[in-house]
Structure 1
Amino acid sequence: MTTKRSAGLLLFRESGDAGLEVLLGHMGGPLWERRDAGAWSIPKGEYGPEESARDAARREFEEEIGLPPPEGPYLPLGEVRMIGGKLVTIWAVRADLDPALAVPGTFTMEWPPKSGRTAEFPELDRVEWFSPPMARNKLVVAQIPFLERLSELLKNEG
Protein backbone atom coordinates (compact mmCIF):
# COMPACT_ATOMS: atom_id res chain seq x y z
CA MET A 1 0.00 0.00 0.00
CA THR A 2 1.35 3.40 -0.99
CA THR A 3 1.36 6.19 1.56
CA LYS A 4 -0.86 9.11 0.57
CA ARG A 5 0.94 12.43 0.56
CA SER A 6 -0.22 16.04 0.86
CA ALA A 7 1.68 19.29 0.63
CA GLY A 8 0.79 22.87 1.45
CA LEU A 9 1.80 26.41 2.27
CA LEU A 10 1.45 28.12 5.63
CA LEU A 11 1.38 31.86 5.02
CA PHE A 12 2.56 34.06 7.85
CA ARG A 13 2.85 37.77 8.40
CA GLU A 14 4.05 40.02 11.18
CA SER A 15 2.34 43.28 11.96
CA GLY A 16 3.21 45.69 14.72
CA ASP A 17 -0.12 45.49 16.54
CA ALA A 18 -1.10 41.88 15.98
CA GLY A 19 2.38 40.34 15.97
CA LEU A 20 2.75 37.01 14.18
CA GLU A 21 -0.30 35.69 12.32
CA VAL A 22 -0.88 32.61 10.16
CA LEU A 23 -3.45 32.04 7.43
CA LEU A 24 -5.81 29.09 7.88
CA GLY A 25 -8.87 27.84 6.05
CA HIS A 26 -12.04 26.43 7.60
CA MET A 27 -12.82 23.11 5.93
CA GLY A 28 -15.90 23.27 3.76
CA GLY A 29 -18.81 20.91 3.41
CA PRO A 30 -21.57 19.70 5.68
CA LEU A 31 -19.29 17.59 7.90
CA TRP A 32 -17.45 20.69 9.15
CA GLU A 33 -20.03 23.49 8.99
CA ARG A 34 -20.94 23.45 12.69
CA ARG A 35 -17.43 22.84 13.98
CA ASP A 36 -14.78 25.41 14.78
CA ALA A 37 -12.10 23.94 17.06
CA GLY A 38 -10.10 21.40 15.06
CA ALA A 39 -11.93 22.27 11.82
CA TRP A 40 -9.32 24.63 10.32
CA SER A 41 -6.40 23.57 8.16
CA ILE A 42 -3.29 24.78 6.43
CA PRO A 43 -4.18 25.03 2.70
CA LYS A 44 -2.88 21.73 1.31
CA GLY A 45 -3.80 18.78 -0.83
CA GLU A 46 -2.76 15.41 -2.19
CA TYR A 47 -0.22 14.77 -4.89
CA GLY A 48 1.23 11.77 -6.70
CA PRO A 49 4.73 10.55 -7.51
CA GLU A 50 4.82 12.53 -10.77
CA GLU A 51 4.85 15.87 -8.91
CA SER A 52 7.30 17.33 -6.39
CA ALA A 53 5.95 18.18 -2.95
CA ARG A 54 6.85 21.87 -3.41
CA ASP A 55 5.09 22.09 -6.78
CA ALA A 56 2.06 20.35 -5.26
CA ALA A 57 2.04 22.81 -2.34
CA ARG A 58 1.92 25.73 -4.77
CA ARG A 59 -0.74 24.11 -6.95
CA GLU A 60 -2.90 23.16 -3.98
CA PHE A 61 -2.66 26.66 -2.52
CA GLU A 62 -4.06 28.05 -5.76
CA GLU A 63 -6.78 25.37 -5.93
CA GLU A 64 -7.87 25.82 -2.32
CA ILE A 65 -7.53 29.61 -1.98
CA GLY A 66 -8.20 30.59 -5.59
CA LEU A 67 -5.25 32.97 -5.72
CA PRO A 68 -1.71 32.46 -7.04
CA PRO A 69 0.73 31.20 -4.42
CA PRO A 70 3.10 33.84 -3.06
CA GLU A 71 6.71 33.83 -4.17
CA GLY A 72 9.31 32.55 -1.70
CA PRO A 73 11.52 32.13 0.02
CA TYR A 74 9.82 28.95 1.15
CA LEU A 75 10.85 27.81 4.61
CA PRO A 76 10.57 24.03 5.02
CA LEU A 77 8.59 22.99 8.10
CA GLY A 78 9.07 19.28 7.43
CA GLU A 79 6.56 16.46 7.52
CA VAL A 80 3.89 15.20 9.89
CA ARG A 81 2.05 11.89 9.70
CA MET A 82 -1.69 12.43 10.10
CA ILE A 83 -3.87 10.08 12.17
CA GLY A 84 -5.05 8.28 9.00
CA GLY A 85 -1.43 7.68 7.92
CA LYS A 86 -1.16 10.43 5.29
CA LEU A 87 2.21 12.20 5.21
CA VAL A 88 1.86 16.01 5.06
CA THR A 89 4.73 18.33 4.03
CA ILE A 90 4.42 22.08 4.67
CA TRP A 91 6.43 25.16 3.76
CA ALA A 92 6.01 28.52 5.45
CA VAL A 93 6.12 31.65 3.32
CA ARG A 94 5.99 35.27 4.48
CA ALA A 95 3.16 36.99 2.61
CA ASP A 96 0.11 39.12 3.10
CA LEU A 97 -3.23 38.22 1.59
CA ASP A 98 -6.71 39.67 1.97
CA PRO A 99 -8.96 36.73 2.92
CA ALA A 100 -11.89 38.51 1.23
CA LEU A 101 -10.18 37.89 -2.13
CA ALA A 102 -10.11 34.10 -1.68
CA VAL A 103 -12.20 32.11 -4.17
CA PRO A 104 -11.94 28.54 -2.87
CA GLY A 105 -12.15 25.56 -5.17
CA THR A 106 -14.95 23.03 -4.77
CA PHE A 107 -15.41 19.30 -4.32
CA THR A 108 -18.34 16.99 -4.94
CA MET A 109 -19.71 14.40 -2.53
CA GLU A 110 -22.83 12.40 -1.96
CA TRP A 111 -25.08 14.39 0.36
CA PRO A 112 -27.03 13.48 2.37
CA PRO A 113 -25.25 10.15 2.89
CA LYS A 114 -26.75 7.19 1.05
CA SER A 115 -29.19 9.49 -0.77
CA GLY A 116 -27.71 8.90 -4.20
CA ARG A 117 -27.58 12.69 -4.70
CA THR A 118 -24.35 14.60 -5.10
CA ALA A 119 -23.70 18.18 -4.13
CA GLU A 120 -20.81 20.58 -4.62
CA PHE A 121 -19.17 22.27 -1.63
CA PRO A 122 -16.27 24.73 -1.20
CA GLU A 123 -12.92 23.19 -0.22
CA LEU A 124 -12.65 25.98 2.36
CA ASP A 125 -15.66 28.03 3.41
CA ARG A 126 -13.67 30.72 5.26
CA VAL A 127 -10.07 31.94 5.22
CA GLU A 128 -8.73 33.99 8.13
CA TRP A 129 -5.56 35.19 9.86
CA PHE A 130 -4.93 33.98 13.42
CA SER A 131 -2.32 34.55 16.12
CA PRO A 132 -0.44 31.29 16.92
CA PRO A 133 -2.38 30.72 20.20
CA MET A 134 -5.73 31.13 18.37
CA ALA A 135 -4.50 29.00 15.46
CA ARG A 136 -3.54 26.28 17.90
CA ASN A 137 -7.18 26.08 19.06
CA LYS A 138 -8.55 26.11 15.51
CA LEU A 139 -6.18 23.74 13.68
CA VAL A 140 -6.62 20.05 13.08
CA VAL A 141 -4.57 18.64 15.98
CA ALA A 142 -2.07 16.77 13.79
CA GLN A 143 -1.06 20.06 12.07
CA ILE A 144 -0.13 21.90 15.30
CA PRO A 145 3.55 20.83 15.04
CA PHE A 146 3.86 23.04 11.93
CA LEU A 147 2.93 26.09 14.05
CA GLU A 148 5.55 25.15 16.63
CA ARG A 149 8.19 24.64 13.93
CA LEU A 150 7.39 28.04 12.37
CA SER A 151 7.70 29.71 15.77
CA GLU A 152 11.04 28.02 16.40
CA LEU A 153 12.31 28.95 12.92
CA LEU A 154 11.39 32.62 13.37
CA LYS A 155 12.90 32.68 16.86
CA ASN A 156 16.21 31.39 15.47
CA GLU A 157 16.02 33.81 12.55
CA GLY A 158 15.85 36.95 14.64
Structure 2
Amino acid sequence: MIRSAGLLMYRRRGPALEVLLAHPGGPFWSRRDAALWTLPKGEIDEGEDPLAAARREFSEETGFVATPPFLPLGELRQKSGKRISARAFEGDADPSQLHSNLFEMEWPPRSGRLKEFPEVDRVQWCDTKPPPPS
Protein backbone atom coordinates (compact mmCIF):
# COMPACT_ATOMS: atom_id res chain seq x y z
CA MET A 1 0.00 0.00 0.00
CA ILE A 2 1.33 3.43 -0.97
CA ARG A 3 1.16 6.05 1.76
CA SER A 4 1.56 9.79 1.27
CA ALA A 5 1.53 12.76 3.60
CA GLY A 6 0.85 16.41 2.99
CA LEU A 7 0.41 19.82 4.56
CA LEU A 8 -2.29 22.39 3.95
CA MET A 9 -1.21 25.97 4.69
CA TYR A 10 -4.05 28.28 5.68
CA ARG A 11 -4.36 31.98 6.45
CA ARG A 12 -7.06 34.27 7.80
CA ARG A 13 -8.14 37.29 5.78
CA GLY A 14 -10.67 39.12 7.95
CA PRO A 15 -13.58 36.72 8.35
CA ALA A 16 -12.37 34.59 5.40
CA LEU A 17 -10.19 31.52 5.61
CA GLU A 18 -7.95 30.76 2.62
CA VAL A 19 -5.92 27.65 1.83
CA LEU A 20 -2.84 27.34 -0.37
CA LEU A 21 -3.37 24.74 -3.08
CA ALA A 22 -0.85 23.40 -5.57
CA HIS A 23 -1.16 22.52 -9.26
CA PRO A 24 0.99 19.61 -10.52
CA GLY A 25 3.72 20.45 -12.98
CA GLY A 26 4.70 18.72 -16.18
CA PRO A 27 3.29 18.50 -19.67
CA PHE A 28 0.34 16.23 -18.82
CA TRP A 29 -1.21 18.82 -16.50
CA SER A 30 -0.19 22.10 -18.17
CA ARG A 31 -3.57 22.75 -19.81
CA ARG A 32 -5.77 21.16 -17.17
CA ASP A 33 -7.14 22.74 -14.03
CA ALA A 34 -10.37 21.05 -12.98
CA ALA A 35 -9.97 18.64 -10.06
CA LEU A 36 -6.16 18.87 -10.11
CA TRP A 37 -5.51 21.39 -7.33
CA THR A 38 -4.36 19.72 -4.14
CA LEU A 39 -2.27 20.14 -1.01
CA PRO A 40 1.47 19.62 -1.48
CA LYS A 41 2.10 15.97 -0.66
CA GLY A 42 4.32 13.02 -1.42
CA GLU A 43 5.20 9.46 -0.54
CA ILE A 44 6.32 8.49 2.94
CA ASP A 45 9.67 6.71 2.88
CA GLU A 46 10.01 3.35 4.64
CA GLY A 47 10.21 3.97 8.40
CA GLU A 48 9.68 7.73 7.98
CA ASP A 49 7.37 9.65 10.30
CA PRO A 50 4.33 10.92 8.32
CA LEU A 51 4.69 14.48 9.66
CA ALA A 52 8.39 14.54 8.74
CA ALA A 53 7.46 13.34 5.23
CA ALA A 54 4.75 16.00 4.94
CA ARG A 55 7.16 18.76 5.99
CA ARG A 56 9.82 17.53 3.55
CA GLU A 57 7.38 17.32 0.65
CA PHE A 58 5.89 20.74 1.38
CA SER A 59 9.35 22.31 1.34
CA GLU A 60 10.48 20.41 -1.78
CA GLU A 61 7.33 21.18 -3.75
CA THR A 62 6.88 24.84 -2.78
CA GLY A 63 10.15 26.16 -1.35
CA PHE A 64 8.13 27.49 1.61
CA VAL A 65 8.74 26.60 5.26
CA ALA A 66 6.06 24.86 7.30
CA THR A 67 5.95 25.89 10.96
CA PRO A 68 4.12 24.27 13.90
CA PRO A 69 1.63 23.79 15.32
CA PHE A 70 0.32 21.18 12.90
CA LEU A 71 -3.36 20.31 13.16
CA PRO A 72 -4.36 16.77 12.15
CA LEU A 73 -6.89 16.68 9.30
CA GLY A 74 -7.10 12.90 9.13
CA GLU A 75 -6.43 10.36 6.45
CA LEU A 76 -8.25 9.54 3.24
CA ARG A 77 -8.08 6.61 0.87
CA GLN A 78 -8.04 7.32 -2.85
CA LYS A 79 -9.72 5.04 -5.41
CA SER A 80 -6.26 3.68 -6.23
CA GLY A 81 -5.87 2.49 -2.63
CA LYS A 82 -3.25 5.12 -1.78
CA ARG A 83 -3.65 6.54 1.71
CA ILE A 84 -2.98 10.23 2.31
CA SER A 85 -2.38 11.63 5.79
CA ALA A 86 -2.90 15.40 6.04
CA ARG A 87 -2.23 18.16 8.54
CA ALA A 88 -2.82 21.90 8.43
CA PHE A 89 -0.79 24.83 9.69
CA GLU A 90 -1.25 28.58 9.69
CA GLY A 91 1.15 30.59 7.57
CA ASP A 92 1.48 32.96 4.66
CA ALA A 93 3.35 32.74 1.39
CA ASP A 94 3.58 34.72 -1.81
CA PRO A 95 2.63 32.42 -4.72
CA SER A 96 5.04 34.30 -7.00
CA GLN A 97 7.89 33.01 -4.81
CA LEU A 98 7.13 29.34 -5.56
CA HIS A 99 10.30 27.28 -5.95
CA SER A 100 9.54 23.63 -6.68
CA ASN A 101 12.00 20.81 -7.11
CA LEU A 102 12.27 19.28 -10.57
CA PHE A 103 11.67 15.84 -12.04
CA GLU A 104 13.01 14.47 -15.29
CA MET A 105 11.08 12.62 -17.97
CA GLU A 106 11.32 11.83 -21.64
CA TRP A 107 9.56 14.59 -23.56
CA PRO A 108 8.11 14.51 -26.13
CA PRO A 109 7.24 10.82 -25.71
CA ARG A 110 9.53 8.39 -27.52
CA SER A 111 11.86 11.26 -28.54
CA GLY A 112 14.80 9.99 -26.53
CA ARG A 113 15.22 13.47 -25.03
CA LEU A 114 15.01 14.07 -21.29
CA LYS A 115 13.48 17.30 -20.04
CA GLU A 116 13.05 18.71 -16.53
CA PHE A 117 9.73 19.95 -15.14
CA PRO A 118 8.72 21.36 -11.73
CA GLU A 119 6.72 19.01 -9.49
CA VAL A 120 4.39 21.95 -8.80
CA ASP A 121 4.01 24.65 -11.44
CA ARG A 122 1.62 26.97 -9.56
CA VAL A 123 0.25 27.60 -6.10
CA GLN A 124 -2.79 29.71 -5.37
CA TRP A 125 -4.68 30.98 -2.35
CA CYS A 126 -8.27 29.73 -2.46
CA ASP A 127 -11.24 30.87 -0.39
CA THR A 128 -12.82 28.07 1.65
CA LYS A 129 -16.29 29.57 1.32
CA PRO A 130 -18.27 27.58 -1.25
CA PRO A 131 -19.61 29.50 -4.23
CA PRO A 132 -23.30 30.46 -4.12
CA PRO A 133 -25.72 28.05 -5.78
CA SER A 134 -26.40 28.79 -9.42
> Could you state the TM-score of these two structures normalised by the residue count of structure 2?
0.90
- Residues 1-52 of structure 1: per-residue CA shift (max 9 Å, x gap): xx111111001111116x1100011110010000111121100111222210
- Give the partner amino acid of 2:95: P
**Higher helix proportion:** 1
Among 85, 107, 110, the alignment partner of 1:111 is: 107
Query: What is aligned with 2:59?
Result: 62
Moved more, 81-90 or 120-129: 81-90
Among 4, 7, 13, the alignment partner of 1:6 is: 4
Contact 2:6/2:54, CA 8 A, preserved across alignment: yes
Separation in 1 of the partners of 2:129 and 2:79? 22
User: Aligned Cα RMSD in Å?
Assistant: 1.4
Give the % identical residues. Answer: 52
- Residues 74-125 of structure 1: per-residue CA shift (max 9 Å, x gap): 1101111122211111101111111122211111112222333221101111
Query: What is aligned with 1:93?
Result: 89
Structure 1 residue ranges, 4+ long, deviating more than 6 angstroms after superposition? none
SS at match of 1:26: strand
SS at match of 1:40: coil
Separation in 2 of the partners of 1:103 and 1:131? 23
- Give the partner amino acid of 1:8: G
SS at match of 2:104: strand
The answer to whether 1:51 aligns with 2:54 is no
Separation in 2 of the partners of 1:91 and 1:38? 20
Structure 2: gaps (5+ residues): none
Query: What is aligned with 1:152?
Result: none
SS at match of 1:120: strand
Query: How many corresponding residue pairs?
Result: 130
**Higher strand proportion:** 2
Which residues in structure 2 correspond to 1:1-158 (within 5 Å)? 3-16=1-14, 19-69=16-66, 71-133=67-129
Separation in 2 of the partners of 1:50 and 1:109? 28
- Give the partner amino acid of 1:32: W
